[in-house]
Amino acid sequence: MPALPGVRAPGVPTAVLERALLGGRGVVGNAMRTLTAAIALGTLFVVTGCGSGGGDSPAAVGTPGTTSSASGPVDPAPEPSLPTSEQLASRLITHLMQQQIGVVAGLVQDADTDPNHLMGRPGGYVGRASFDLPGGDEQADPGTIDRGGVLEVFATEADARRRADYIRGIAQGAPELAGEFDTVHGVVLLRVVGKVSPTVAKRVDAGVVKALAAVG
């Protein structure tokens, strides 16, 4: 039987349409009901076939393997800031006195109380603290090295070493500086008066190393 022109139903075989239109003793009503049922069946088939696939659901929006969050990115905790030169001198002398190694009467100097008047000057230190030690002169002026020792903090390690070399140079012609214990620890120059015993001087030097590690 030739195909029926102009009749299309998605997913419905042509034979079914032909029987719906031509069969049933020519009864038009039955044919139309059969055609309507066939078209509905084909439409249901097409809709069901499109919706039952294994594809992604439209609700699954976003990057696979991640979850969305209403909150923004969390800022990392700020790293602790390093102490300034003046703060470094203060913290070091505090740690030295807490170690109970003979360091007492710690004082932090500024540009007005610096006995050497080198604070903040070109090539000079930018932080300073003094302290008393056993063997030092208790009658000496406060803040002077004669009472025990001093910590001089410089902007760079090169400045600290230059200062230590200068003191060693002038010590050859200055009896009051003879035997002074000078040690450079980074930007810090430790000076201990020569009247103090070598044992005490070494103890203080080790204490400076511990204090530097503690204050960062």
The residue type of 192 is V
- Structural domain contains residue 26: yes
206 in the same domain as 132: yes
94 in the same domain as 138: yes
- Give the rounded distance of the alpha carbon of 175 from its chain centre: 51
Round to whole Å and give the CA distance between 215 and 129. Answer: 15
Sign of CA dihedral 27, 33, 36, 37: negative
Q: pLDDT digit string (tens) for 115-161?
A: 999 999 988 999 999 999 999 999 999 999 999 999 999 999 999 99
Q: Is 32 left (phi over 0), alpha (psi -120 to 50) or beta?
A: alpha
Higher-confidence position of 3 and 74: 74
- Structural domain contains residue 69: no
202 in the same domain as 98: yes
| Domain housing 197 | 85-215
| C-alpha atoms less than 13 angstroms from C-alpha of 45 in its C-beta half-sphere | 11
- Structural domain contains residue 62: no
- Structural domain contains residue 34: yes
Q: What is the mean pLDDT of the chain?
A: 75
Distances (CA, A) of 131 to 16, 58, 83, 152: 110, 75, 20, 12
98 in the same domain as 46: no
Backbone angles phi, psi at 211, to 5 degrees: -65, -40
b or e along 127-158 (b: 16 or more beta carbons within 10 Å of the residue's beta carbon)? bbbbbbbebbeeeeeebebbbbbbbbbbeeee
Return the closest-CA partner of residue 104 out of 33, 207, 16, 215.
Answer: 207
Q: pLDDT digit string (tens) for 170-188?
A: 888 777 677 899 999 999 9
